[in-house]
Amino acid sequence: MSERIEEKVISERPNIFLRVIYIILFLIITSVIIWRIFYYNSPEEQLAEIEVSIAIPDSENAAIIYNQLIEDYTESYLKPAFLTLTIDDITRQTPWTSEDYPEAAEWLEENEDIFTKLIEASKYEHCLFPIAINSLEDMDNIMSHLSFIRQLAFWLMRSANYDFGEGRTDQAMEKYICCINMGRHFRQQPVAIVFLVGIAMESLGLQRTQSFIMNENTTTEQIKTIETSLLDKKFEFDKYWTFMLHVENLNSKTLPTTTANNFLERLKELWLSRKNDEAAMKRVKEIYLRLLTDRQGTQILVALRQYKNKNGKWPEKLDEVKPFLSSENILIDPQNDSSFVYKLKDGDFVLYSTGLNGIDENGQKKSPADDWPIWPLDTPQIQSQNTKTTRNDPNNVE
């Protein structure tokens, strides 16, 4: 009798074990279903929630003005027939006059209201565009808008250089600063490609501002205005970077892969194929650090100009400009946490970063060297038969 009971108990053990497994599986599946129904948020829903959480009133949003310009003009309008590659390069990189390029001057004068609106937008502290990218159409719209804004920034620089060449230096300075602020607006967007275009615009404005600072005719009051404009608002990059990675990850789950071509094709394909790739995002961060280097380098140029205005000569060592800086940390290179390189040379000076590798390679940035020049500007030489375009060029440091 006891033997039969024992056999029965043994035979029932697998059934009990299976029932336990079934119960566990049932509980897991039920929990997943409940979570999916009541708690799960799709990537689209999460992006929508983020947009709501960071929304700003239209009255405080510079994007409203940028969007109005996008509606009012077309990109083809910003590419008139007279704008050859040579005129494009010269008018964007050096001061010029109406006598030099009358058609470009006439176009700018007819469209001054564009730059008035850009300056108005640049005075806003905040800017926010939609961050959810749910379709290829959304992405194409972003690329088209970025291309348009990029062209606006180029024309803003042409207008500033035209003002400078004609002696309207206050107006020129205001437009250089406007370009810097436009870049900051686009850097507020937690979408990597928009962030990168913001960096490009801010770098463009910084470069022309550097030339303006180093011109001997720039006034003390103008230097002070530039100094104030370079004091960036508090920007907690590490916190922002984590936020952008999260948004990029969510967008990658909503956006299908494509091989379609559009403006900024290489950048777009990189974004599509590698935006979640660690190496690609690391590169974005490196480009941002280079922008910080440009900004702090520009602040150092302000201090150098103030030093020379007071002492009649450039300092022997960079440490001598510390009294003219809002913080001594400006002298620390963001790319490598070491010092900028400053050297007197033939009555002038060179200033550069030693790049990510932190090795002084005499200011050379051509691979494998990675130094990052601040001054003199590392810009290509422009060949032109019209010598008038260089007579007021602030690239010439006296």
Is the confidence at residue 151, as pLDDT, over 90? yes
Q: Please confirm whether the linkage preceding 373 is cis (ω < 30° from 0).
A: no
- What number is the average pLDDT over the span 85-100? 95
- pTM beyond 0.85: the answer is no
Would 85 be classed as within a structural domain?
Answer: yes
What confidence score (pLDDT) does residue 239 get?
Answer: 84
Residue 113: count other Cβ atoms within 10 Å of its Cβ: 10
Helix, strand or coil for residue 125?
Answer: coil
pLDDT digits (tens, 9 = 90+) for 343-387: 998 889 999 999 999 999 998 988 888 999 999 987 655 544 443
Report the percent of the chain where pLDDT is more than 90.
60
Q: State the pairing for strand pair 372-375/348-353.
A: antiparallel
Range of the domain at 248: 43-390
Report the domain count for the chain: 1
CA distances from 208 to 46, 91, 113, 395 (A): 40, 12, 22, 9
Is the confidence at residue 35, as pLDDT, over 60? no
* HSE (side-chain half, CA atoms, 13 Å) at 244: 21
Would 15 be classed as within a structural domain?
Answer: no
For 63: left if phi > 0, alpha if psi spans -120 to 50, otherwise beta; the answer is alpha
* CA 390 to chain centroid: 29
Would 24 be classed as within a structural domain?
Answer: no
* Concatenated DSSP letters of 206-268: HHHHHHHHHSTT--HHHHHHHHHHTSPPP--HHHHHHHHHHHHHHHHHHSPP-----SSHHHH
Would 112 be classed as within a structural domain?
Answer: yes
pLDDT digits (tens, 9 = 90+) for 253-298: 776 655 545 446 655 655 555 544 677 788 889 999 999 999 999 9
What confidence score (pLDDT) does residue 110 get?
Answer: 97
| Cα gap 97→110, rounded to integer Å | 16
| Cα gap 17→23, rounded to integer Å | 10
What confidence score (pLDDT) does residue 398 get?
Answer: 29
Average pLDDT, the chain: 85
Would 354 be classed as within a structural domain?
Answer: yes
